[in-house]
């Protein structure tokens, strides 16, 4: 997806649709998917770098080792405002999130990630 990569570690088929686990990696200064919400809960654990997260209407900067829980229905976004590659482990509950990836990849093909602001 251009400057964003996703790698699924466990999908709905493997987990009987209870959860999906994926890694998301964003190049430096890369915007994410844009503010959105969905019924699934999202759990994020920052693997490397600093990932900036929007939850409702507040941005926060989460460094390596940070954990975030975003309940289903809450508007959220993520982006890498830093100068190094940033990655998160994502758990989506319930699972089968990966079934949305073809349309997500198509959306990013039509709307390539833009430059993100900087961490302030």
DSSP 57-75: TEEEEEETT-EEEE-TT--
Q: Which domains does the chain have, with CATH numbers?
A: 4-110 (2.60.120.10)
β strands within the chain, DSSP E: 4-10, 20-26, 41-48, 50-55, 58-63, 67-70, 76-79, 86-93
Using a cut of 0.75, tell me whether the model's pTM lies above it. yes
The fraction of the chain above a pLDDT of 70, given in percent, is: 98
Secondary structure class of 92 (helix, strand, coil): strand
Predicted confidence at residue 61, as pLDDT, reads 97
Predicted confidence at residue 114, as pLDDT, reads 79
The low-confidence residues of the chain, meaning pLDDT below 70, are 101, 120
In angstroms, the CA 27 to CA 47 distance is: 14
């Amino acid at each position: 997806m251009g400057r964003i990569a996703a790698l699924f570690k466990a999908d709905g088929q493997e987990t009987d649709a209870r959860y999906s686990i994926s890694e998301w990696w964003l190049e430096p200064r890369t915007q994410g998917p844009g503010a959105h919400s969905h019924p699934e809960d999202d759990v994020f654990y920052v693997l490397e770098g600093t990932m900036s997260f929007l939850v409702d209407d507040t941005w926060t900067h989460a460094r390596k080792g940070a954990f975030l829980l975003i309940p289903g229905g809450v508007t959220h976004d993520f982006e890498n405002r830093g100068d190094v590659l940033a990655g998160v482990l994502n758990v989506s509950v319930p699972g089968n999130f990966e079934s949305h990836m073809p349309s997500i990849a198509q959306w990013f093909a039509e709307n390539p990630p833009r430059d993100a602001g900087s961490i302030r």
